[in-house]
Structure 1
Amino acid sequence: MDVTEAIAVIILILAIAILVYYYLLNNPSALNKLRDYVPSSADAHMEEVLGGNPADLSENAVSPDKEESMTKRIKVKLSDIDMSGLNTDGFSNKLDAFLDAKSDELIKDWSLATTDDLVDLEKKFNETADSVDDLDKDYKEFKKSSEEFKKITEEKLDDLDKRIESLENN
């Protein structure tokens, strides 16, 4: 299915949805049957939580007296929750035990570095730094000796030039 076919299908689905919407608006009997199947409140237990019907929500937003009672109701509902099952210390202990048991796998799977890895890296870094220092020292010695070689070679070439000139003049 290419893009044009997909767009055509989407337009067709939207047209059907619009037709169903207008059919429901123009046929009150069909709309009443639909209302029987779809609940009027968002939550089936909304009446239990609010202590009344869902229409009271708009009244609570208007009057501060009922707003206070709603907060008290919510506090009561939260205090009724059994917190003994939510033992964070127990959960933390279980998590620590799991991490201890699976730490080697986690380190390997996630490619994590350990303190041993850091010690090895420090040793390798120190060896590399020493090697670089030795190479720098050798380079400086080579540069110095090559400058001396250059001077000696230039002197010999100058001497040869003088000899060649003296032979040419004779």
Structure 2
Amino acid sequence: MGLFDQILNAIGDPNQAASPGQMSGIFNTVQQVSNSYGADPSSVQSAMSIVGNYVRSALQQKQATQGPEQAEAFVNQYSGSSPNPQAVNALFGASQVQQIVQAVTQRTGLNAGMIQQMLPILVPLVLNFLHTGSHTQSGRGSNPVLSAFLDADRDGDVDISDAMNLAARHFMR
């Protein structure tokens, strides 16, 4: 089952954290970031997708070295829609941050300084998107949205931007 399907299932499951309101909040925050920085919303979504790929790699490494529970605990701790520089610092080293900024700059044309300022917003948003699969009661099992996101072996291309676009079309009708 793909990432989008897992998100839809999470929204339909009262035992998981996902809700249409949470999804709307994520989309609204992306729009606010676009407006605040005078950037095209599609460029911000592209930036979020690129950041999402780096988040996936970092969470896969965390899962491999510390276990799936730690990866899920990280998502639960740092997900949100408010700027959180600690989320960036806890997930990436300084050289990785520079790689992310450079990759986003090259692929979106956004200013490097702007991207540097956006990262403390975008990383928690990506984590918030993944948090949708968290269970509302502890001890109820793993987060299927996070599992689908981290399971790159299944189809090799899990893209948070695609999943967000599908979700936006579904929930913003």
TM-score (norm. length: structure 2): 0.16
Considering Cα pairs closer than 8 Å and 6+ residues apart, tell me whether 1 or 2 has the greater RCO.
2
Q: Which has the higher helix share?
A: 1
TM-score (norm. length: structure 1): 0.16
